[in-house]
Chains A and B, each alone.
Chain A
């Protein structure tokens, strides 16, 4: 990334879920995130794109320390938080925020909007009651839920999905964090509302200079949102590049397949078949040796099936995890 100021540094991060098979049975690992490295600068917005099962959601939760990493390193503002016990992470929780996929599930149904926004402030002992009230009303205005007084005392079930997602954004930002992770924030909303919410998030992100990790399966929305795109497949980041570059010049075969598979509204689509690789993503319990996309990759050769490729920097700010590019640095 080349900035000397780094907000978040992830080094070979691994997060394996343990599953117990049966009462006496052995333990099995679901290798949801299996060796991921990148860094994010302050104020930078990154999209993490992948299908369900790619590990993108687990990556987000691990970065927020909702899970403890199985291996690798997690550094935030220079401090190693990989294995820090939860009680010592209160400072970190103040610096981070989360916007979730389900607007209704993300809100406690028995609290008013005011109380929902007040909770983070109470926990971190911010301000007096009057000061908090002001902050809450300002937060509501910032996400355009006005008149704020009216919305503040409603209950979640009285609001629409889009409105609740604004509350979620307000809640994520109220402690003035430096990093916000949004996990599929618009996939449960109607098409016409998605743009509104994404636009709002982008505005606030740029205005406040917050780093954002936007997790999604919808590649088409990333262009409006982030500087960088990370493509995830089966627990690995297979390609990292600046948004424009990746969309115009995808290098990894999976990225190409992804792009080829997404339709734009075009009446010619119905007349032809799409070229897409067959099959499904591999099991995360017993991933194949070598490159995980090899079984489905039209360009796979011998080495792909036996050795896992490292990341190659094919051009400045464009990294690909694929043996096709072994010639590069």
Chain B
């Protein structure tokens, strides 16, 4: 399988009154065609900022935006805003936002909103775009009569499907899903996951699936990246990750997730994540890590490839202690 997206040394810093927030700090990852890369982390770890960095939806107070984002061999970070808008955003990469059900415009009909990306990015006529919109609505399991309805007439699950249709209508190669099922009940969530699986297989999509819910990631993820305090601390294949997460934080995180079918003792992680304005020197997890030693507090560990394509940022592995 070929690599469709390659991110190297991505940095996204924001200027705020309190200082420079290093939301995404030197992140590198790869996405292969047709596969799902899950990005997992708790609130404030930078995963949503990473999503925005990839699709270049940046706020005004950006301090630094640097690195390489190679899409089909082209470094799109170097493209001008206009070029990016025309050739990348919603053409090659589209996004389903967090709380998407609330980002539907309440005064426009659903069909029109789903059709909009076609009209804007491809200059397609209104009638044609609406026809396509209806086709995609059917694809995501909504009867096409709903195209004439307004968002408030749709249930939460249906709104989420409509938003997915909106992300797919321009036939992108990559879809970024940022918490696509938060605020949905469990059964609807399972239905949406089924839909995403189906679409991936039928359309050959590649997903970047961002969420805080580790158990949920296993529904789609072929590979998992764990983010902590702006950094990616582990990238592992699914088979490795769910049975044996390598990074101490990932390990502790996995231990804190309650499971339905497996009996296990739950653990929690004492302390809080560090500030993104002045991250500590050395490994950012060290202050809370039960295995930390001297080096951890002083030097920041580079990624260690423990298996082909699988990386951990931890001195324990560099020094062969694990």
Contact = CB atoms under 8 A, between A and B. Distances in A.
A259 B267 CA distance: 23
Question: Chain B CB within 10 Å — which of A51, A52, A190, A277 has the most?
Answer: A190
B218 A266 contact: yes
A327 interface: no
B187 A261 contact: yes
Contact of A263 (B187, B197, B218, B238): B218
Interface string A249-275: 000000001111111111101100110
Contacts of B242: 265-267
A196 B262 contact: no
A266 B217 CA distance: 9
B222 interface: yes
Contacts of A269: 218-219
Interface size class on chain A is 35 or more
Interface in A174-225: 190-196, 198-199, 217-221, 223-224
A265 B218 contact: yes
A42 B243 CA distance: 41
Contacts of B266: 195, 198-199, 224
B185 A52 contact: yes
Contact of B186 (A51, A193, A264, A278): A51
Question: Chain A CB within 10 Å — which of B194, B214, B220, B267 has the most?
Answer: B194
A6 interface: no
B190 A264 contact: no
A195 B268 contact: yes
A107 interface: no
B2 interface: no
A261 B189 contact: yes
A280 interface: yes
Interface string B159-199: 00000000000000000000000010111111101100110
Nearest to B260: A220
Given A247-B260, A257-B187, A269-B219, A274 B193 contact: yes
Contacts of B268: 192-196, 199
B221 interface: yes
Contact of A270 (B42, B186, B197): B197
A262 B189 CA distance: 9
Given A217-B186, A224-B258, A262-B186, A280 B218 contact: no
A7 to B, nearest CB: 27
Interface residues of B, number: 50
A224 B256 CA distance: 12
Contact of A160 (B198, B215, B239, B272): B272
Contacts of B9: none
Interface in B103-154: none
Interface in A255-306: 257-267, 269-270, 273-274, 276-278, 280-281
A139 B238 CA distance: 44
Contacts of A190: 42-43, 212
Interface in B190-233: 190-191, 193-194, 197-198, 212-222
Given A223-B258, A263-B216, A270 B188 contact: no
B194 A267 contact: no
Contact of A264 (B194, B212, B260): B260
Question: Chain A CB within 10 Å — which of B188, B221, B262 has the most?
Answer: B188
Contacts of B241: 267
B150 to A, nearest CB: 18
A221 B256 CA distance: 11
Contacts of A260: 190
A242 to B, nearest CB: 16
B259 interface: yes
A187 to B, nearest CB: 10
A270 B238 contact: yes
A274 B256 contact: no
Interface in A20-66: 51-53
Interface string A135-166: 00000000000000000000000001000000
Given A190-B42, A192-B252, A193-B268, A264 B259 contact: yes
Contacts of A247: 260
A191 B249 CA distance: 12
Contacts of A276: 187, 190-191, 194
Contacts of B3: none
B273 to A, nearest CB: 9
Given A269-B219, A270-B197, 4 more contacts: A191-B256, A263-B219, A265-B254, A265-B257
Name the 10 nearest CB pairs between A and B, nearest first: A51-B185, A261-B190, A267-B238, A195-B268, A220-B258, A190-B42, A196-B268, A192-B269, A276-B190, A269-B218
26 contacts: A52-B183, A52-B185, A53-B185, A190-B43, A191-B212, A192-B252, A195-B266, A195-B268, A196-B268, A199-B266, A217-B186, A220-B257, A258-B187, A261-B187, A262-B260, A263-B219, A264-B215, A264-B218, A266-B218, A267-B218, A267-B243, A270-B197, A273-B198, A274-B193, A280-B157, A281-B185
Interface of B: 36, 42-43, 155-157, 183, 185-191, 193-194, 197-198, 212-222, 238-239, 241-243, 252-254, 256-262, 266-270, 272
